Structure formats: C-alpha cells, structure tokens
Amino acid sequence: MRIELWADVVCAWAYIGKRRLERALASWTGEPVDIVWRPFRIDPSAPVPAEPLAEALRDPMVDAALQQCAPELTPGKNRERVSRIAAAEGLGPRWGAGWRASSHDAHRLIALAHEAGGTRLQGAVAEEVMRAHFVDARDISLPAVLDDVARSAGFPEGSGLLADGGGDAAVRELLLRGRAAGVATSPTFVANGEALRGAQPPEVIHAFLSGAARLSPRQLPEEVERFRHAEALLDLGDPLGALTLLQPLLDSHGDDRGTQLLAARAYFHSAQLNRALRVLEPLVTAAPDDSYARLLLGRTLQRQGDARRAAPHLRLAAAMSPHYAA
C-alpha cells in the first residue's frame, strides 16, 4: 500500500507526524507500505535567504499563513505546545526552527531523491531536511545547507541536480495536484483515496491505515486524473494552474474535444481571449449544436467588445439551453 504524505518540511507538525506514522507502522502487520513524500507550502512567500523566525512572526500575515500547519490550533498555542510534543516524540534535546525559510528547493531535493533512489532515499532526505531546520536551526533555503543535507542522507549528487534546475517543474506540478485534490493541511496522509489530516496519534494513524487497506486501490489512468485535477483547479479559480496540468494532454491528445473545451474555459477565465477564440471557433464549426461551446464563444467575443459577432452565438445558445439566457 502506498501512503502519500503531503507536508511542508517547515511545518513542525509534519516532523511530528512523520514520527507518529513510524510508530504506527512499528506494529503494522498488513501489506507492505511505501511512504511517498509530496510537497505542500504553508508559507510560499518565505524569502531566500531566510529571515530570523522570531522577527517574522511579528507579522500577522506570516502568523496567519502558518495556520495551514495544524489549523485547529491558533499559531500562539501551536508554538507553545509543539516543543513539548516534539520532545515526547524523541526529536532531540534542542528544538525550534530559527529561520523563516523558503522550502521550495528542499521540496525539489526530496522529489529528486525519489526519482534517484525511491522511497527509502526520499525518506532519508526528508528526515535530514527537517532535522536541519528544527533541530540544528539551519537555513534550509541555502544551497550549501541542502548540499550538507543531501550528503548526510546518502544523496551526494543532489546538490548538483538542484543547481541544474532539477525537480522544479515536478514540484510545481505536484503542488497544483495537491491543491486540486483538496490537500489543505500539513501533514495530510492519503492512502487508497482516503485522507487523514494532521499529525494524529499513532493509534489513530494505525486505524486509518487499517481502514484504507480494506479498500481497493483507486488508480485512474494518468490522463484521466490529470484532466480531473485541471478541472478542479479551474473550479477553484486557478485557470493558469489548470492550463499547466492540461499542457501534456494538449500536446498528446490535442484533438480530444473535452480537453480542448476545458482549455478554452481556462483561456477565457485567464483573459487569454484570442487563444480561447482559436479553440472555440473550430469546436462550434464541428458541432453547431454544442450550446455550451456557443455560449463560451459568444461570451469571449462579448468580452473582446465584439457585440455584433457575439449576439448570434448567445441567441443560439439560449435557444438550445434556455438556462443560458440569464
């Protein structure tokens, strides 16, 4: 069974959640488990190089962003409890991040480790990244620190791959996929389509895994999953993210009507009206009775200020589907 662990390595509860998952698995007697780390960002605006965390936390915007890490706690209560809980989980005699650091490159390193050595190497890199951030209080946004982390984890080639830009596109796409799938908390455990939010106690994680193990794995074809995630991002108001996920489908299945129509919607909602027109006009020509394509074409022309050309498409769309008349 595969467990996807969606987490930000600068979220203390992610490190605690990792330890609690390990404790839950210590008594696991079910099928073998693979843990795959997936990226999440609680503070995407964190700078490189980092700034001292104590100063950053005076900014209420930063404090609010951190609520994606254990949202059931106010940030103040979170910080009061987390050091005691970390100590109870055996995470070292000293605890406490010293820096508000961007975690993007650390996520790239973790993704590259998975590509290079699978889940075992990836888990080792994730452990060393969080140890550097929370126990050693180092700035994990810096290349030199990530080089030390990679070498300590047995991934000496990692810093060279980072320097060449490796992992950037993969992490950005995974962040979009996580958002599309509804991941909103660090950590979130996903297994066989079921999700558990937060660094729950080991017995809760164990029960969750037992329940997930009884389910049939939900493995959609990659193209279908990509399409659904793109559609979800569009519904969430992220048309540019939807287009990022759609691009491989447009490259390989560019003649698929559903893919073209979803791309046209994303172009329309991202104000790329000429691109929307280039997709919609052939669609309407090929299927004149597609009322939604006509509606979208009419609205695209309308937004371009071409009311004369828009009017017949809008009238036909309303005639075929009266609810479009509103």
Strand partners, 124: none
Please give the CATH number for the structural domain made up of 222-325.
1.25.40.10
User: Which pLDDT value is given to residue 73?
Assistant: 45
Is the preceding omega at residue 217 within 30 degrees of 0, hence cis? no
In the chain, CATH 1.25.40.10 covers 222-325
- List, for the chain, all residue ranges whose pLDDT scores fall below the cut of 50: 73-74
Q: How far apart are CA 130 and CA 81, in angstroms?
A: 18
Contact 74, 18 (CB under 8 A): no
In the chain, CATH 3.40.30.10 covers 2-213
CA distances to 233, 263, 277, 289, 311 from 254, in Å = 20, 10, 16, 21, 29
User: Which pLDDT value is given to residue 59?
Assistant: 72
Span 131-168, pLDDT tens digits: 999 999 999 999 999 999 999 999 999 999 999 999 99
DSSP string, 36-83: EEEE--S-TT--SS-EEHHHHTTSHHHHHHGGGBSTTS-HHHHHHHHH
User: Which pLDDT value is given to residue 97?
Assistant: 87
Span 195-226, pLDDT tens digits: 999 999 999 999 999 999 998 877 789 999 99
User: Which pLDDT value is given to residue 90?
Assistant: 82
Q: How far apart are CA 106 and CA 104, in angstroms?
A: 5
| DSSP-based three-state secondary structure for 5 | strand
User: Which pLDDT value is given to residue 307?
Assistant: 95
User: Which pLDDT value is given to residue 74?
Assistant: 47
Contact 318, 326 (CB under 8 A): no
Q: How far apart are CA 71 and CA 76, in angstroms?
A: 12
246-271 burial, b at 16+ Cβ within 10 Å, e below that, comes to beebbeeeeeeeebbbbbbbbbbbbe
Please give the CATH number for the structural domain made up of 2-213.
3.40.30.10
Q: pTM score, two decimals?
A: 0.91
